[in-house]
Structure 1
């Protein structure tokens, strides 16, 4: 017998016009759930900028909020906001899906539990990493203390969820280590494959629109923040400047953020104005239709704080070889479709970029492997996995048997022993792909 459609509320702590991996993957999930006949609503903080009543057919409920300095784009919402509960009741929401721990999420979780609505949590951001915590505290020596407090704060949410997911094996292990009863399941971020198979401008057309675009363009797309290690990318470009066979080499950093001015200053200081370009932010649709991503020679990131970055997945879906640091989490996305390099090493990164820019056989093999890998991230398949989890939670006495035995007394097992240098993840965290704890 066909099961009745569900109504799911997805909570975002950051929303449009800010675009990040959580927003992109969450919107894709909602679109594919709707294609499967389900109903979805969004709960988002009201920034005064996004005013549309819906997005792609999904109603958007904006909750009054105030600016927060804790992290760019984050907002304060009263944790006891009554409007959230009224929306859940009026919309007859059956499952609440949260995407990050902050105060709108706290209000939504409180309201859901008061109404017997089970909560599903996705662990998207490696919030324990030093580069993220330094947005909250300015002194690195305070990071261990803030990390311990942060895990305890996160534990409040973990204790009140019926099920947990994470897009990468690493994130599953991190969550299970801190909260042993959470039993996270790996469900990948999804993308809409058709968006990447569309006809795009030729390389010549891209060059006419963007004169700095060349045959050997290396692209980065993302927030220009300290956690992205952009200095490593820029210094790698400096290593490659003027090398024989790399006359067409360009590094293009698409995005905006607090480190944008610092990046421009570094480019100028190194004399790389003709090699490194920062065109600013491009809306997602414009980025995909422009041909910049599809026609890039390589997609590269130096970030060591990633979980399962959507920008890397999108490059893979375009058949673009990728270069990433060889650290737990992001290395799960690179097999034969690119190269992994020592983290924080501009010369190692430069060597990998040079290889993919000059070795056509290597580039062709990596491109074919990327297109083959793209099938793993099919948004419809991801939505089916998530829908089955929602139904499982509802079947299991509204999620009660999947929740921790003593809600409200859920604490982290963090002891500091699993940290790498300066709070960076250790490579040995990625020894096992299994994460169904």
Structure 2
């Protein structure tokens, strides 16, 4: 089975672990077409190509990128750029991108022109019913009519699809973590001193980073923040006020992140909901946590988690984390204090988190589910029944040729 995947934007690097897992499955071939990706993604593509002889990727040029518009929906790919080797006809096409994205419309048009009749599946993560300006609603409806199946990552994302009129099959296929990399260190002891609350992500207002700093002062605990963003200066001021108690660490790759997570007594994701206006000033787009992938990474490392009640944070944590009302600093401080003062509770949440990840959120399980869906479609199963069969076990690695983007 030859699977062709399209993906755009700087966050493409988050998918490379899945591509790696897919390439280890025998019997399938994977081809990735990517555009507007980060240098780190290009390096990951090159690493995968060295690791998997059958893997190739094509980094395509683009007319309009995420950096200029502020949103991945407006990325416009130059599929007619410098020609490369012909792409072998795929057995199935999987588009990683929302239905309203310009790049999704382009990918579906490419499939219709070059490989008519090939089954197509589409990723979906939007957990807020957002009414985009024209022409995006038209693109969205076109995608709903064109694809054989949409794969939402959460129940809320599926509810949004239904609210917007999609009536096709929509099995939930969540995001995952590579548990070969993210795993508890052999010597980890939950509740060790000094008690340290950690955060990994963008230092932006909607992530609740400043709330976390205030809560840490109330609890009088250490803080370890990993990432970067517009609030970096304020974090540095907090570190100056509490010398040695607040640490800021730059972004790191997957290989280094488990070590930093292992230094945390508890991981917190105190997100709040905001309205984003960086595409068109008169169009407000609610920004709500669509998944919270780093929660899964922390749980996979045996770190107890605390999260706000925004978006999909409670869904991802399940019974493995403590929830508090978004923006309530005192409530967040209370959850942190509970974990500091009750090692048995911290140990219980750590164990629950490991079980939840291994049951639902490893890339191995996600890859198996995707193979079930794709095998069902390739075998001629209807959209309603695809994904109920047994995976054939192998996925062909993606051929990657990098074209010039300038």
Same fold per superposition (TM over 0.5): yes
Displacement of 1:194 in angstroms is 2.1
Preserved contact between residue 8 and residue 39 of structure 1 (Cα < 8 Å): yes
Displacement of 1:313 in angstroms is 0.6
Distance 1:234 1:148 in 2: 41
Give me the TM-score of the superposition, normalised by structure 1. 0.71
Report whether the alignment pairs 1:174 with 2:160. yes
* Aligned-partner SS, 2:271: coil
Displacement of 1:229 in angstroms is 2.4
Q: 1:147 to 1:127 in 2, by over 3 A?
A: farther
2:147 aligned partner: 161
Taking the TM superposition and a 5 Å limit, the aligned residue runs for 1:58-69 are 58-65=55-62, 66-67=64-65, 68-69=67-68
Displacement of 1:186 in angstroms is 0.8
Q: 1:48 to 1:167 in 2, by over 3 A?
A: closer
2:247 aligned partner: 277
Q: 1:75 to 1:273 in 2, by over 3 A?
A: farther
Q: 1:188 to 1:82 in 2, by over 3 A?
A: same
Distance 1:202 1:396 in 2: 49
Find the partner of 1:235 among 195, 208, 214.
Answer: 214
Find the partner of 1:95 among 92, 97, 113.
Answer: 92
2:229 aligned partner: 257
CA deviations on 1:38-92 (whole Å, 9 max, x unpaired) are 221222215583555634233221111254333378884346x2259977x5232
Distance 2:242 2:142 in 1: 47
1:353 aligned partner: 336
Distance 2:81 2:264 in 1: 46
Find the partner of 2:196 among 217, 225, 241.
Answer: 217
Distance 2:267 2:169 in 1: 33
Find the partner of 1:195 among 174, 181, 185.
Answer: 181
Displacement of 1:315 in angstroms is 1.0
Give me the TM-score of the superposition, normalised by structure 2. 0.76
Preserved contact between residue 85 and residue 112 of structure 1 (Cα < 8 Å): no
Displacement of 1:360 in angstroms is 1.0
Preserved contact between residue 222 and residue 256 of structure 1 (Cα < 8 Å): yes
* Aligned-partner SS, 2:35: strand
Find the partner of 1:316 among 299, 303, 313.
Answer: 299
2:316 aligned partner: 333
Preserved contact between residue 162 and residue 400 of structure 1 (Cα < 8 Å): no
Find the partner of 1:390 among 374, 379, 395.
Answer: 374
The worse-fitting range, judged by mean Cα deviation, of 228-237 and 63-72 is 63-72
Displacement of 1:200 in angstroms is 6.2
Distance 1:48 1:370 in 2: 31
* Aligned-partner SS, 2:202: coil
Preserved contact between residue 100 and residue 125 of structure 1 (Cα < 8 Å): no
Between structures 1 and 2, the one with greater helix share:
1
CA deviations on 1:175-233 (whole Å, 9 max, x unpaired) are 22223414421112222222234756778xxxxxxxxx962111111223333222222
Preserved contact between residue 105 and residue 139 of structure 2 (Cα < 8 Å): no
Distance 2:254 2:328 in 1: 30
2:275 aligned partner: none
* Aligned-partner SS, 2:355: helix
Q: 1:61 to 1:190 in 2, by over 3 A?
A: same
Q: 1:154 to 1:353 in 2, by over 3 A?
A: farther
2:394 aligned partner: none
Find the partner of 1:380 among 339, 364, 367.
Answer: 364
Preserved contact between residue 118 and residue 398 of structure 1 (Cα < 8 Å): no
Report whether the alignment pairs 1:286 with 2:256. yes
Displacement of 1:124 in angstroms is 2.8
Preserved contact between residue 235 and residue 346 of structure 1 (Cα < 8 Å): yes
Report whether the alignment pairs 1:54 with 2:46. yes
1:124 aligned partner: 125
Preserved contact between residue 126 and residue 160 of structure 2 (Cα < 8 Å): no
Q: 1:372 to 1:239 in 2, by over 3 A?
A: same
Preserved contact between residue 64 and residue 77 of structure 1 (Cα < 8 Å): no
Greater relative contact order, per chain length (Cα 8 Å cut-off, separation 6+): 2
Distance 1:324 1:44 in 2: 32
Report whether the alignment pairs 1:29 with 2:21. no
* Aligned-partner SS, 1:285: coil
Distance 1:202 1:328 in 2: 30
Distance 2:121 2:264 in 1: 37
Distance 1:229 1:168 in 2: 22
Distance 2:227 2:348 in 1: 29
Displacement of 1:373 in angstroms is 1.6
